[in-house]
Structure 1
Amino acid sequence: MIELLTDPNAWVSLLTLTLLEVVLGIDNVIFLSIISEKLPEARQPAARRLGLVLALVMRILLLFSIAWIIGLTAPLFELVGQELSWRDLVLIAGGVFLLFKATGEIHIYMEAHEEGADKARSGSASFFAVVVQIVLLDAVFSIDSVLTAVGMSGDLPIMITAVVIAMAVMLWAAEPVSAFVSRHPTVKMLALAFLLLIGVTLVADGLDFHIPRGYLYFAISFSAAVEAVNLLRRRRAKKDPAKAA
């Protein structure tokens, strides 16, 4: 462990892996912010924190089971000429679950015509049900995250440290992101569209059709930048109605 602390290569590996884990965790934070809205406002932060803590525990346990994790990529059976492993099945199931949830949220959001209808459904779900949904998707993201960590670094202390730091960043970002998404309806719709995109990507990965993450994050970044310009324009229009046109 002391050698790792004095090795520049170890620090570079830790920084690179931490940044990658944070990027991979963005979709997790977005999902947390949307699914936790089903709870009363006072209980939402607890659900988000519990979900992220359970995700951290799950990832650390998986890192200690590296041999088992690597075994998940071994072909399990063949279907219509396509070899499928446990990892593929988990990714496909997680992607379908994400598509189902995002589509359902969009449907509810678009059908809520009555004033206050969106807030009326807040608190309709139980704390346990929300946490279970968070943990289920965390399991999918955890396997993908751990496989990435194993592929980038062979040092268990570095992998665990990177995961802990990334999770700390997500814990810090969860509340501001959730509040921001909740305040801006157009941002919430954009976030749901992101979840649909991520769901399609997970299913594609499970079917061994790899979509480069660069394309995915570029699309998300470009859409977010356009939305940021729109938000800035609306904020200025509120201060000066003459600029609304």
Structure 2
Amino acid sequence: MTDLFAILADPTNLVALAALVTMEVVLGIDNLIFISILTNKLPEAMRGKARTIGIALALGLRLVLLSFVAFIVTLTKPLFEAFGHGFSWRDLILIAGGLFLVWKATKEIHHNVDANSGDDMFEKKGPGPSFGAAIFQIILLDLVFSIDSIITAVGMTDHVPIMFIAVISAVTVMLLASAPLARFIEKNPTVVMLALAFLFMIGMTLIAEGSGVHVPKGYIYAAMAFSALVEALNIFARRRRAKAG
């Protein structure tokens, strides 16, 4: 505890902590969108429990991985080289996670706009995913996002206690925001499509990062923020027209 106070007494470490908390919260948005969309397909009585378990698993995975920081760092060492890029375990995990996100987003978009079936993402005409299947998919993506999160943390500070505080703070924000975000997504079908488009874009970004192509995160999140702003204006306009009518 004394060591923690000594670390936090350094203004440089406080700045690093603030920056890392912000970065972890931003990275957690991707994870939270996926959890919200997936759990909204479950029966209503199970959704809150699934979200809580999903976010608790995200926290648990991050804390466990932080305990093996020295091992996590070795995941960035190249295993083999192909196409002029040295692929590491981290690259392979990011590519696998990106492919899963692209597949999942494409599947859900197709399901949501299929004119022949007339299905909506939240209509229960057919069997939805089981509770266990939803949790399994959440675990897979939690693992991908957790490894990326920890490697990002290692690149920003050398102090493990700061990493722990940042991760716990970010996951706490995810927990508080999960229910409101899920309700908002459920009540606004057009937001579902936007969120799925975000997941598709995030998946492609993970594949690019794993293939050695650096994609500045600022561009990705700026595009997401602009799209969210446009959708918010559309929702506001629709509500005004509904009141006027």
TM-score band by shorter chain is over 0.9
Whichever residue aligns with residue 70 of structure 1, its letter is: V
Please name the residue that 1:215 is paired with.
219
Separation in 2, partners of 1:61, 1:185: 36
Q: Is the 8 A contact 1:37 1:122 kept in 2?
A: no
Q: Tell me whether 159-168 or 72-81 shows the greater mean CA deviation.
A: 72-81
Q: Tell me whether 191-200 or 78-87 shows the greater mean CA deviation.
A: 78-87
Separation in 2, partners of 1:134, 1:109: 20
The reply on whether 1:134 has 2:168 as its aligned counterpart is: no
TM-score normalised according to structure 2 size: 0.94
Please name the residue that 2:184 is paired with.
180
Label 1:19 to 1:121 Cα distance change in 2 as closer, same or farther (>3 A).
farther
Q: Is the 8 A contact 1:77 1:83 kept in 2?
A: yes
Post-superposition offset of 1:122: 7.6
The reply on whether 1:171 has 2:201 as its aligned counterpart is: no
Q: Tell me whether 159-168 or 6-15 shows the greater mean CA deviation.
A: 6-15
Label 1:123 to 1:8 Cα distance change in 2 as closer, same or farther (>3 A).
farther
Label 1:207 to 1:7 Cα distance change in 2 as closer, same or farther (>3 A).
same
Label 1:228 to 1:160 Cα distance change in 2 as closer, same or farther (>3 A).
same
Structure 1 residues 152-206: Cα deviation after superposition (integer angstroms, max 9, x where no partner): 0111111001000100000000110011011101110000000000000000000
Alignment coverage as a number of residue pairs: 241
2:158 aligned counterpart, secondary structure: coil
Whichever residue aligns with residue 127 of structure 1, its letter is: F
Post-superposition offset of 1:5: 3.4
Please name the residue that 1:102 is paired with.
105
Structure 1 regions of 5+ residues with no counterpart?
none
Q: Is the 8 A contact 1:73 1:86 kept in 2?
A: yes
Of 58, 70, 79, the match for 1:76: 79
Of 45, 48, 65, the match for 2:48: 45
What value does the CA root-mean-square deviation take over the aligned residues? 1.5
Whichever residue aligns with residue 189 of structure 1, its letter is: M
Q: Is the 8 A contact 1:21 1:163 kept in 2?
A: yes
Separation in 2, partners of 1:121, 1:93: 31
Percentage of matched positions with identical amino acids: 51
Label 1:79 to 1:225 Cα distance change in 2 as closer, same or farther (>3 A).
same
Structure 1 residues 132-161: Cα deviation after superposition (integer angstroms, max 9, x where no partner): 100100100001100010100111111001
1:119 aligned counterpart, secondary structure: coil
Q: Is the 8 A contact 1:22 1:166 kept in 2?
A: yes
Post-superposition offset of 1:118: 4.0
Please name the residue that 2:228 is paired with.
224
Separation in 1, partners of 2:42, 2:143: 21
Whichever residue aligns with residue 138 of structure 1, its letter is: D
